[in-house]
Structure 1
C-alpha cells in the first residue's frame, strides 16, 4: 500500500469514527467481501485529504466473498432497495448506498465488464473516476488524476440513467474546482438545450439540484448564465 492509499484509508476510518455506528457497519460489511468505495466521499478525501468534512453519503460496491453473510448482516438494519437493485441504509443519520459490483447499472446495461478497475470508468463525469478498495488498499484514480491535471470536466461513459443530474453536477464541479467543460460535454448540454429549450432545461436542472443536494448550489440566474456561455 502506497503512502497516498494509506492516507485515504486513515482518513476514511477517521471520518467513519465520527459517527457512532458507521465504522462498525463498514467493518461488518468488509467481512462479506471487498468494499469498493466510489463517488463523492472518496473523491473528496482524495482531493482534500487534509480536510475532514463528513460527506452526505457513502457509495460502496461489494466484490462478494460471502454473499450469504451479507444477507444475514442486513437483517440487523433497516434498509430500502432502490429501483436499480441497490440497498440504502441510514446509519447514525448517514446514507450508505450499497451495490453488488456485478449488478451496478453500468455493468448491467452497457458492454463494460464488471471489475473494480472498470467501476472507476463506469461514471458519466470523469471527476467521479475514483475507486478505493477498503480491504486491499488498492486505489484506481487515473480518470480523476487526469481531470485535475487537465483542469477539464469530460464524459467517461455517456450511457447513464441520470444525464440531467450529471449535467447539473458538472456545473457545480466547474465552479467548485475551477474546471473547464470539454467540447464533448458542451455538445451534450447543447443537445439538451435544443431538445427542451433553455428555460425548461434551467427549470429541470434547478429542481434536480434541490432533489439531489437538498440545497441550492446554483441559483436560476447562475444556471442561466452558465448555459448562456455553453
Structure 2
C-alpha cells in the first residue's frame, strides 16, 4: 500500500479512524446506504436491541475506502429472538438461511441479520464466551474479525472489538482466524478474492489451506460456489488454476513467509496439454507438478 496521510492515520490509530468512518456511514455520508441504516436504526431503537456491525463492511471502510459501498451489511443482534426479528422485518424479509439468519432487502439494499447466540461458531462450541467481545473470534479470515456497535449515545465512544483485525490491516497479511468452517470451497474463493481486492499477501497458514483444499475441489465446483454466493463468477476456472498453483508452489517452502499473489496483468497462463490434467476424475487436478506452466512477468 502506498504511503499517504490517510494510510498513516490508519496505521497510527486504526480504531479512531474506523469509529469515524462507521459513524459517517451510518448517520452522515449521503450514500445509498444512509437511508437503509436509518430505517434499521429506527426498528432497533424501538425494540431496544443491541446491534453490532460485523465483518466485511468494517473491513472495507478501513482497508479499502472511507466511502466504500459494501456488497451487503452483516448485523448481529442481542436481546432478540429469531421470531422477534422475523416479525419486526416481515416486510423486508427475503429468505431465511439454514442457520436461522435473515436476508433482508432494506430500501433495495441487502442486509444479513441474525441473533448473537445463533452465530455458527458459538453454536458449535468452537469459540468460548458468546458475547459481542468474542464475535471476532468466529470469522474464518483475520480481516473480518471485527465487530462495532451500530448505535451509540452521544458522548460515549462506540464499542469496537477487533485486535486481530487491526493487526491484519497494519501488517497487510490475510490469514486464517478460525479454521473450522463447513464451506471449504467458499473459504478458498473468498480468500483469493479478498487478497486481490485488498492487495494483501496470504499468510503461511492460509496458503497451506488454499493449497490443500484447492487440490481437492473441482474448478467447476469453485465456480458454482461463486455463482451461489456472489451471483456471478469473479474468478473463472483458468484464473483459479493459476492462483492456486502459485499458492501451492510457495506454501511448501521450508521457511514459511507471506505469499504475494500476482496481479491480474502479471499473470500469463500457458494452457496445459490434454495429458497434463485428469479432467474427468478431478476437473483440473495436476497429474504431474512440473507439467503445467505458469509464469509471472514483470
Q: Which residue is 1:107 aligned to?
A: 122
Q: Which residue is 1:57 aligned to?
A: 72
Partners of 2:22 and 2:61 in 1: CA distance: 6
Partners of 2:183 and 2:163 in 1: CA distance: 23
Q: Which residue is 1:158 aligned to?
A: 179
Single out whichever of 13-22 and 220-229 deviates more from structure 2.
13-22
Q: Which residue is 2:95 aligned to?
A: 80
1:35 to 51, 73, 77: 51
1:6 to 20, 30, 46: 20
1:226 to 243, 247, 255: 243
Deviations 1:80-137 (A, max 9, x none): 2211111121112211111110111111013312111211111001111111111242
Contact 1:57 1:94 in 2 (8 A): yes
- The equivalences for 1:1-230 within 5 A come to 2=16, 4-14=18-28, 18=32, 20-32=35-47, 33-51=49-67, 53-64=68-79, 70=85, 72-112=87-127, 113-136=129-152, 137-196=158-217, 200=218, 202-230=219-247
Structure 1: tracts of 5 or more residues without a match: none
TM-superposed CA distance for 1:141, in Å, is 2.5
Say if 1:194 and 1:188 are closer, same or farther in 2 by CA, change over 3 A.
same
Larger radius of gyration between Structure 1 and Structure 2? 2
Structure 2: tracts of 5 or more residues without a match: 1-14, 153-157, 248-298
| Superposed CA RMSD | 2.6
Single out whichever of 136-145 and 167-176 deviates more from structure 2.
136-145
TM-superposed CA distance for 1:167, in Å, is 1.1
Say if 1:215 and 1:30 are closer, same or farther in 2 by CA, change over 3 A.
farther
TM-superposed CA distance for 1:63, in Å, is 1.5
TM-superposed CA distance for 1:18, in Å, is 2.7
| TM-score, normalised with respect to structure 2 | 0.67
Greater helix share, structure number: 1
Partners of 2:244 and 2:29 in 1: CA distance: 36
TM-superposed CA distance for 1:30, in Å, is 4.0
Say if 1:177 and 1:187 are closer, same or farther in 2 by CA, change over 3 A.
same
Deviations 1:131-163 (A, max 9, x none): 111124211222222112222211111111222
Say if 1:17 and 1:110 are closer, same or farther in 2 by CA, change over 3 A.
same
Single out whichever of 126-135 and 210-219 deviates more from structure 2.
210-219
